[in-house]
Each structure stands twice: as structure tokens, then as C-alpha cells.
Amino acid sequence: MQDDRYEALTPETLPDRLGGLDALISRVGSAAGWQVQEVGDGNLNLVFIVRGQGAAVIVKQALPYVRLVGDSWPLPLTRAFFEHEALVRQAARDPGRVPEVLHFDKAQALIVMEFLSPHTILRGKLIAGERVEGLAEAMGRFCARTAFRGSDLSMEAGEKKADAALFLDNVALCDITEQLIFTDPYCEAERNHHTPELAPIVASLRADEAVRDAAQAMLMRFTAGAETLCHGDLHTGSIMCTDTETRVIDPEFGFYGPMGFDLGMLLANFLMAFFSQPAHRDEPGEMQDWLLSVVTETCAAFEAEFARLWAEERAGILYPARLGHGDAALRGLMAHIWNDALGFCGCEMHRRCLSLAHNADFETISDTGLRARLEARNIEMGRQLLVARGQVPDASALAELAREHD
Ligand code: ADP
Ligand code: MG
Ligand code: MG
Ligand code: MG
């Protein structure tokens, strides 16, 4: 690129502008034969598939505003920088789980990365009733490895502090989470919307001071609990799968936060897939059983991997070997992570029905009466997770709670 000034790519300008990059030519072939397709279905960025004689690649470019809303809502291009930094760390901490980065251009806010194919977005698969072998194992391990290896349990103290300082600058993306997940759902905010038939339930939730307080306590954990580098946006739209392989994309919301944050968000999205199933098929039972097995097995994989890392890789300032901590310390730490995960899970279940960005699991249900009934179960369970999560000791209790609300 001759000029370093940022300019958004189009399918027409992309071959001219990126056609000189070795990272692309060596994979895709010469730019003369490129076919470019814009496929971004997310809320924020441009995503292009570049195809040629060789392998295809993805070019993801940030826009200076929120794509979902338009240029009335500016958003800094630096999110591409944080996405790139997070991808590099995740690749080191859980090798093979995120797309390989082929090229990064800070000024153009663009990342060239491996094209995942024939992977598709997990959310769509779950709505279609498709299962993914190994999903729970892969995701539980991803959450455990990134949580542990980015924390003071593992990192050298100076390195961890420098990294936390770097990511502290991801202010605008954290602001989205702070507003849309922890705040807007619990009041009447301009960007909110909900299924009309939900009005009485929404009113009762917003009148419940205990819920509001619990959500603010979770927000304080989010802003002040800088335990590890979190993915920050780990929903089923940030996971791409084949029938047997699971990959994680889109960590532009990366921030230093609680070790239970990503796990809690992920569990919420599995639970919303569970609650919405009756609208997507006549006999939802088997898929629902499978989704709850994904919930429990994800937690089991998380715990097993975390315990393994605790035993084998504890090299940071926390719980040093010379203090001789045993199983009780690990159990205490796991209980702390679980408590956070449940609270974040509750907030995520609420915001997807009440705040700005909803999810296709519920949004594609055209019968609004039915949609409201299913969303109501989800909202009620989220409320319990916020105010009474002490009564949910483990993943089986969480799955049981989902069954009671279904
Ligand atoms: P946003 O940040 O705007 O949400 P995403 O990173 O989630 O953008 O990408 C949007 C869409 O582009 C994804 O839902 C997926 O369909 C596609 N996509 C993104 N990255 C890849 C990839 N590495 N391989 C294949 N498809 C991808
Ligand atoms: Mg996305
Ligand atoms: Mg994104
Ligand atoms: Mg909705």
C-alpha cells in the first residue's frame, strides 16, 4: 500500500490495494486472478474472502464506526490492533484453536488470516439442530488454557502487568460491554428493544433491585478483576465448526478480566440455544439433551484442564509452590471462577433479549408470542443466576436449573 492513510476496502479495490503482499500472493496466487467477496455478518467489521488459484484467505478490516448502527456511532480502528494482539496470545496458549494470522496492518486496521473452511458459525448449526463432536472438550480446554496461561498463576509478573496495561487501552470495546451487558438491560435505555409480549416480565426485572445490584457487582468484577486476558466476546457466533472441529474467532473485545468471564458468556449462549430449541423443531428433546451435555462437559473439560495446568504449570506469583498449596486451594479458586461465571452467564442471558444486540436463536422465531414465552424462561433463569447463584454449586445443578425453567 503506497499511502498509509486508512481507507475502507471494497471488493473492487482490494486486489489493487493488497495485491503486492507476499502473505497473500504466496497463499492465494497472483492478484490478477483474485475473486473477492464481502461476507461480514457480524455487528462491527468488514470481512472479505479472497479466492484465487491457491488457498483462500480472510481479510478482516475494522470500520471507524459500528457497522450494525452506522457512522452515528464511531468506534476506534484500534480494535483491529487488539484483535491481532489477542489472536497471537491465544495461538500460543491454545495452539491450533484460532485462525492463523498471515499479515497485520495497523494503519489500515486489517488482519489477513486463515480462511476456515468448511467451518460455519456454531450458532447457525445449533439452530439447525446440528451437533459438533468434541465441541465441549475443545471449548472447555480453550477457556481453561487462556484463563490460566494469561494469569498471575502462570505469567512472569512484569510481563503480565505490561500486558494488562496494553489491553487497558481497549476502552471503547469495553465500554460496549459495560453499557450493553451490565447496564442497559436493567433500565430503559435508548438502544434497547424487546419482544412486545415480554413487557410485563421486563418491567418486573427492571423493578428488581436485587437484580440490578447483582449486575453492578458483576460489572465491578468486569472492570476491576484483571485476572487474565479474556476473549471478551465468546458467544456461539464467535465459534466456527465442522461436524468434528471447533475453532474460535473474533477476539477484538480482548481485555484483562475475570477468569470466569469467557466461560460464563459461553455457557449463556449454550443455554439460549437450549431454551430456543422448541421453536426450531417439532421434537426438540434430543437436541436439548445434547446441549445440556455440552454445558456439563464444557465445565468438566474446563476443570480438568485447569487442574492439570495448576499441577504442571504454576510458575507465576500466585499460589507459589513454596507455600505448599494443596487441593483445597484449587477447589477454592475453582469456586471463585464458577461464581463469577454464573453471574456473567445471567447478564448475558438478559442482554440478548433486552438490550441492543440480540441473537438469532430467539430473533429468528417469527411467532412473537412463542418467542416471548421462550425468552421469558431464559430471562427468569438469568435472574436466578444473578441473585441466587450460591445455590448452583456445579454444572449439573446449572443444567438441572435449565430443565426446571424449560
Ligand atoms: P465481527 O467482528 O464484525 O463480528 P467476525 O470476526 O465475527 O466479525 O466475522 C464475521 C463473519 O465473517 C463470521 O461470522 C464468519 O462468517 C466470517 N469469518 C470471519 N473470520 C473468518 C475466518 N477466519 N474464516 C472463515 N470465515 C470467517
Ligand atoms: Mg463476530
Ligand atoms: Mg467482533
Ligand atoms: Mg429479540
Cell of 363: 430473533
The backbone torsions φ and ψ at residue 109, rounded to the nearest 5 degrees and listed phi first, read: 55, 45
Average pLDDT of the residues in 238-253: 98
CATH of the domain at 72: 3.30.200.20
Last residue of a domain, one of 89, 114, 139: 114
Average pLDDT of the residues in 374-401: 98
CA distance to 46, 259, 260, 353, per residue, from 99 (Å): 17, 22, 23, 30
User: 163 and 40, same structural domain?
Assistant: no
CA of residue 372 to ligand 4 center, whole Å: 9
Quick one: which atom of ligand 1 is closest to the CA of 119?
25
Give the pLDDT band of residue 326 (cuts 50, 70, 90): confident
Distance, in Å, from the CA atom of 247 to the CA atom of 293, rounded to the nearest integer, reads: 19
Distance, in Å, from the CA atom of 243 to the CA atom of 44, rounded to the nearest integer, reads: 27
User: 151 and 243, same structural domain?
Assistant: yes
Give the pLDDT band of residue 41 (cuts 50, 70, 90): confident
Last residue of a domain, one of 94, 114, 134: 114
Nearest CA to ligand 1 atom 6: 250
Range of the domain at 27: 14-114
User: 104 and 165, same structural domain?
Assistant: no
CA of residue 116 to ligand 4 center, whole Å: 29
The closest of 298, 303, 167 to 234, measured between CA atoms, is 298
Distance, in Å, from the CA atom of 252 to the CA atom of 75, rounded to the nearest integer, reads: 12
> In 296-320, which positions are buried (b, 16+ CB within 10 angstroms) versus exposed (e)?
bbbbbbbbebbbebbeeebebebbe
In a domain, 215, yes or no: yes
Give the model's pLDDT for residue 184. Answer: 98
Give the pLDDT band of residue 49 (cuts 50, 70, 90): very high
CA of residue 252 to ligand 2 center, whole Å: 9
In a domain, 7, yes or no: no
Give the pLDDT band of residue 268 (cuts 50, 70, 90): very high
Quick one: which atom of ligand 1 is closest to the CA of 67?
3
Pocket of ligand 1 (CB under 6 A): 39-45, 47, 58, 60, 99, 113-116, 121, 249-250, 252
Q: What is the pLDDT of residues 107-164, one digit of tens each?
A: 999 999 999 999 999 999 999 999 999 999 999 999 999 999 999 999 999 999 999 9
Q: What is the pLDDT of residues 69-115, one digit of tens each?
A: 888 989 999 999 999 999 999 999 999 999 999 999 999 999 999 99
Nearest CA to ligand 1 atom 12: 40
Quick one: which atom of ligand 1 is closest to the CA of 42?
4
Give the pLDDT band of residue 352 (cuts 50, 70, 90): very high
Give the model's pLDDT for residue 276. Answer: 98
Planar angle of CA 357, 87, 318, nearest 5 degrees: 100
Residues 6+ apart with CB under 8 A from 186: 205, 206, 211, 212, 215, 350
Give the pLDDT band of residue 3 (cuts 50, 70, 90): low
Give the model's pLDDT for residue 68. Answer: 80
CA of residue 44 to ligand 3 center, whole Å: 6
Quick one: which atom of ligand 1 is closest to the CA of 249?
6
Average pLDDT of the residues in 236-263: 98
User: 376 and 229, same structural domain?
Assistant: yes
Nearest CA to ligand 1 atom 4: 42
pLDDT at 294 over 80: yes
Distance, in Å, from the CA atom of 108 to the CA atom of 106, rounded to the nearest integer, reads: 5
Give the pLDDT band of residue 321 (cuts 50, 70, 90): confident
CA distance to 8, 152, 303, 364, per residue, from 338 (Å): 42, 18, 10, 31
> In 222-249, which positions are buried (b, 16+ CB within 10 angstroms) versus exposed (e)?
beebbbbbbbbbbbbbbbbbeeebbbbb
The backbone torsions φ and ψ at residue 377, rounded to the nearest 5 degrees and listed phi first, read: -60, -45
Average pLDDT of the residues in 226-239: 98
Average pLDDT value over all residues in the chain = 96
CATH of the domain at 333: 3.90.1200.10
User: 294 and 397, same structural domain?
Assistant: yes
User: 267 and 286, same structural domain?
Assistant: yes
CA of residue 357 to ligand 4 center, whole Å: 8
User: 58 and 28, same structural domain?
Assistant: yes
Average pLDDT of the residues in 316-321: 94
pLDDT at 2 over 80: no
User: 124 and 106, same structural domain?
Assistant: no
Mutate to test the pocket of ligand 1, among 9, 60, 102, 123 (most ligand atoms within 8 A of CB): 60
The closest of 342, 169, 180, 183 to 256, measured between CA atoms, is 169
Last residue of a domain, one of 71, 94, 114: 114
Instruction: Indicate if ipTM > 0.85.
Output: yes
Nearest CA to ligand 1 atom 11: 40
Instruction: Specify the length of the chain in residues.
Output: 406
User: 160 and 62, same structural domain?
Assistant: no
User: 70 and 47, same structural domain?
Assistant: yes
Amino acid letter, residue 141: R
Please state at what angle helix 327-354 crosses helix 261-280, rounded to 10 degrees. 50
Average pLDDT of the residues in 303-326: 94
